[in-house]
Amino acid sequence: MIKAGIIGATGYAGQELVRLLLQHPQAEIVWYGSRSYIDQNYYDVYKNMFRLVDAKCMDDNMEELAGQADVIFTATPQGLCASLVNEEILTKTKIVDLSADFRIKDVEIYEKWYGIEHKSPQYIGEAVYGLCEINRERIGGARLVANPGCYTTCSILTMYPLVKEGLVENNSIIIDAKSGTSGAGRGAKLPNLFCEVNESIKPYGVTNHRHTPEIEEQLGYAAGEPLLINFTPHLVPMNRGILATAYANLKPGVTGKQIQAAYEKYYADEYFIRLLEEGAYPETRWVEGSNFVDIGYKVDERTHRVVAMGVIDNLVKGAAGQAVQNMNLLFGLPEQTGLQLVPLFP
């Protein structure tokens, strides 16, 4: 059994990790870390865990945890993992970090967009970006995996084949994304109260959302050159889900058949990516509670643009599910282990 510890187990992503790992046939949770609820019963924080989890919440002592766990998940705010990790810990255990601390390879860009000093930049180069469908060959041997963000997972996977195959004008990419409120975390914040969110939709982080450089960096690797995008997220009144709609100019002569061939080349054999039939467009409700990514597209012959659309559950494929998928790769298990989750409906 893989012994897993979670730091940040009482946030939404942390609780989702608990839910998934409790059902995982090869994993055992040995540490429910939560600085806010130390010594409280985990099931008192999340009543859905009553009679399923008898453990009490513990602190974020990563050094002690490293001696007990084969893998540590850090579902924490930006900066915490970077402040705790050190060489001794990495010689004892593997880390899957759900924060942004090790996603961006340029420390100056990280510090600019996140507004904090990076506490362990020496590990940025070593960390593997854990987008499994693209980097699985590198993930298996890693000590430190940077679990991608939710918006970034959806946006990158939606556009990756088209950028990789050179079918679009890279600097024409515009991504318009919508997320449910769980993406903002469990903390009590005025803008996320029911009366503030219900019956409304709003953009935020316009031109400066901190997932922007992450998307640009990863699509830049696919393109073989740096690129710039416009990325605008929106908050919608639902619990879970992300819809990313990406627009890009096609290069001269590119056809719909080439677009279809590119998606099939990279995703036809991917279990968690479902390419929709022609004329079908993804909806968040059809992936809720699952690790699936549904992708569809439409070529606009009139404007010679492609409109590509992807959906995920932001707490599963956008966070905890992808983290478990990374764990499976780290320990040589089939990626679907513990993640063959049928989407919930209604």
Give tens-digit pLDDT for 40-69.
Answer: 999 999 999 999 999 999 999 999 999 999
For residue 218, the model assigns a pLDDT of: 98
Q: What is the mean pLDDT of residues 250-260?
A: 97
pLDDT reading at 189 higher than 90: no
CATH H superfamily, domain 2-126: NAD(P)-binding Rossmann-like Domain (3.40.50.720)
Convert the pLDDT of each residue in 86-144 to its tens digit: 999 999 999 999 999 999 999 999 999 999 999 999 999 999 999 999 999 999 999 99
Mean pLDDT of 228-238: 97
Q: Is the pLDDT of residue 220 over 90?
A: yes
Q: Mind listing the pLDDT tens digit for each residue in 74-101?
A: 999 999 999 999 999 999 999 999 999 9
Q: How much is the pLDDT for 206?
A: 97
Q: Is 57 exposed, middle or buried (0-12, 13-18, 19+ CB in 10 A)?
A: buried
How far apart are alpha carbons 161 and 262 in whole angstroms?
6
Q: Which residues pair with 233 in a beta bridge?
A: 177
By the 8 A CB rule, do 203 and 191 touch?
A: no
Mean pLDDT on 250-278: 97
* pLDDT for residue 184: 84
Question: What average pLDDT does the segment 255-284 reach?
Answer: 97
- pLDDT value for 187: 81
Q: What is the pLDDT of residues 159-180, one digit of tens each?
A: 999 999 999 999 999 999 999 9
Please report the pLDDT score of residue 188 as a whole number. 76
Mean per-residue pLDDT over the chain, rounded: 97
Give the separation between CA 76 and CA 14, rounded to whole angstroms: 8
Per-residue pLDDT at 327: 98
Active site residues: 150
Structure confidence at residue 192 (pLDDT): 83
Q: Give the Cα separation of 290 and 344 in Å (integer).
A: 8
Q: Would you identify the CATH topology of the domain 151-314? A: Dihydrodipicolinate Reductase; domain 2 (3.30.360)
What confidence score (pLDDT) does residue 320 get?
98
Rounded Cα distance between 250 and 167, Å, is: 6
Residue spans per domain, the chain: 2-126, 151-314
Is the entire prediction scored with pTM above 0.75?
yes
CB neighbour list of residue 32: distance below 8 Å, 6 or more residues apart: 6, 9, 10, 18, 42, 53, 55, 56, 57, 58
